[in-house]
């Protein structure tokens, strides 16, 4: 098992200096812009960690790992149009810097490039990798659609929300890990275990994101605090607050969400505290984390090999990496 630092460096090298510039430049410049912004490169890293953990040859997973990262960035390009997001990683989004048509077509092209990398996998793992990749890509689209539906719905249950983030976020994290196991030629039972592990970690990761928007440190989180509150986004916290509030308290929540600016954020945060939303969310994250670790324990490999993944993911959920 390689140390995380080694794998992180290897992922960095996979992307550093990679050039997507081609003709016509109107199509490829936005791709270069999007893919050279960096980001955590979390999904390729998880593929390498998983492949290494199962004793695989990292060369076998690298092309798919690059494909997963490019796919993820493609979804951001299109999501940013649909959500009308102006900033991404502190930079103007492609749709804002260029226009909607550019973000659509450059996004489509990135999707093809992602498939070109996946196609470069060894023939003996190609079909299995592709099946995971296809299914995941479809589910990510479904997740985005559910997310957009929720913004128009009056009543969204926490159960619906968990299913939405499973599709929109968790399946890609789980797929990254599963593709690592496929590339390492681990037994098929283990593909499913690491996938289920990834789903739970992905859910915890998204709830942590929701949590930090309300209770995070702006310097660590990298985004302004309270943005979800300002935009009335239906996060786990939002839905939990309404679930926990009795009939009278719902009026208080409605009133707080009808305010604006800093006053709105402070009032909502006070109610989140009053209705136990902070504790409930933290507990849910711990529960998902523990369930994930129980699955990791069942995976039949040397425990030493699991340590790096265990440590990295614990830090990830705390958002220390």
Name the residues that contact its own copies, by CB under 8 A: 23-24, 26-27, 78, 81-82, 100-101, 104-105, 108-109, 111-113, 115-116, 119, 123, 126-127, 130-131, 134, 137-138, 141-142, 144-146, 148-149
Of the two residues 107 and 180, which places its CB atom closer to its own copies in the complex? 107
SS3 91: strand
User: Under a CB-based contact definition with an 8 Å cutoff, are residues 204 and 218 in contact?
Assistant: no
Take residue 218 and report the two structure tokens written for it: 């702006």
Closer of 148 and 311 to its own copies (Cβ): 148
Going by C-alpha positions, the residue among 55, 197, 72 that lies closest to residue 140 is: 72
Of 275, 203, 284, the C-alpha closest to 242 is 275
Distance CA 121, CA 109 (A): 19
Q: For residues 166 and 193, which CB has a smaller minimum distance to its own copies in the complex? A: 166
Q: How far apart are CA 132 and CA 176, in angstroms?
A: 9
**Residue (98 or 221) nearer to its own copies, CB:** 98
Place of tokens 């493609």: 74
> Min. distance of Cβ 285 from its own copies in angstroms?
27
Contact yes or no for 256/271 (Cβ under 8 A): yes
| Smallest gap from residue 105 Cβ to its own copies (A) | 6
Q: Least distance in Å: CB of 146 to its own copies?
A: 6
Find how far residue 5's CA is from the centre of its chain.
Answer: 21
Measured from the CB atom, the residue of 13 and 149 that comes closer to its own copies is 149
Least spacing, CB of residue 108 vs its own copies, in Å:
5
- Minimum distance, C-beta of residue 13 to its own copies, in the bound complex (Å): 24
Closest distance of CB 160 from its own copies, Å: 11
Phi and psi for 92 in degrees, rounded to 5? -60, 140
Comparing CB distances to its own copies, the nearer of 115 and 310 is 115
């Amino acid at each position: 098992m390689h140390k995380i630092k080694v794998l992180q460096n290897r992922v960095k090298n996979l992307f550093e200096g990679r050039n997507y510039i081609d003709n016509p430049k109107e199509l490829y410049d936005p791709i270069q812009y999007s893919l050279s912004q960096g980001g955590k490169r979390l999904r390729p890293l998880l593929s390498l960690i998983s492949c290494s953990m199962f004793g695989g040859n990292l060369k076998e997973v690298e092309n798919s790992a690059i494909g997963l990262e490019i796919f993820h960035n493609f979804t951001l390009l299109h999501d940013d149009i649909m959500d009308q997001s102006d900033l991404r990683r502190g930079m103007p989004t492609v749709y804002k810097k260029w226009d909607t048509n550019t973000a659509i077509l450059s996004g489509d092209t990135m999707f093809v490039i992602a498939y070109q990398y996946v196609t470069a996998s060894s023939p003996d793992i190609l079909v299995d990798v592709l099946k995971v990749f296809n299914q995941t890509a479809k589910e990510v689209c479904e997740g985005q659609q559910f997310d957009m539906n929720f913004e128009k719905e009056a009543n969204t249950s926490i159960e619906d929300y968990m299913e939405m983030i499973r599709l929109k976020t968790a399946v890609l994290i789980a797929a990254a890990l599963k593709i690592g196991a496929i590339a390492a030629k681990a037994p098929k039972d283990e593909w499913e275990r690491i996938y289920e592990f990834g789903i739970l970690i992905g859910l915890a990761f998204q709830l942590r994101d929701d949590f930090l928007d309300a209770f995070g440190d702006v310097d660590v989180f990298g985004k302004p605090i309270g943005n979800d509150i300002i935009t009335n986004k239906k996060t786990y916290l939002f839905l939990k607050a309404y679930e926990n509030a009795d009939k009278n308290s719902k009026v208080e929540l409605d009133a707080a969400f009808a305010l604006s600016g800093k006053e709105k954020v402070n009032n909502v945060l006070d109610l989140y505290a009053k209705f136990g939303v902070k504790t409930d969310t933290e507990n849910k994250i711990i529960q998902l984390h523990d369930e994930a670790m129980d699955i990791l324990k069942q995976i039949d490999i040397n425990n030493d090999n699991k340590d790096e993944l265990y440590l990295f993911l614990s830090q990830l959920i705390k958002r220390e990496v």
